[in-house]
Amino acid sequence: KNEVEQSPQNLTAQEGEFITINCSYSVGISALHWLQQHPGGGIVSLFMLSSGKKKHGRLIATINIQEKHSSLHITASHPRDSAVYICAALGGSQGNLIFGKGTKLSVKP
């Protein structure tokens, strides 16, 4: 079992839909990252959070430390949101990220 699990693996949505991607982790962490990766490889950091909730534009990330669970929400989804969304847990004394396998999101117009 991976230390960081994401669901779903693939997600297809219609433009305008509200999207939720889930992340569960089994390790102790100091923070959790949500990352966005477009075709071609470049990774963009969306959020780093250790408690509560963060919002940036149409993106919202929440984390429940007790339940070891985080969610990424996208409101009013748009085709340009199509990408792979990766959850990564920051844990351990050396600060290495442990990555989930990613959720491939496709938003259809």
What string marks each residue from 79 to 108 as x (binds other proteins by CB under 8 A) or -?
-------x-x-----xxxxxxxxx------
Q: Sheet holding 69-74: strands in order across?
A: 4-7, 19-25, 69-74, 59-64, 52-56
Structure-token pair, residue 56: 């940036």
Q: Which of 35, 74, 83, 107 binds other proteins (CB under 8 A)?
A: 35
DSSP strands (E only) in the chain: 4-7, 10-14, 19-25, 31-37, 43-49, 52-56, 59-64, 69-74, 83-91, 96-99, 103-108
Q: Which of 43, 62, 71, 82 binds other proteins (CB under 8 A)?
A: 43
Write out the binding residues for other proteins, residues 51-80 only, by CB under 8 A: none
Q: C-beta of 101: minimal distance to other proteins in Å?
A: 5
> Which chain residues interact with other proteins by CB under 8 A?
4, 33, 35, 40-45, 48, 86, 88, 94-102
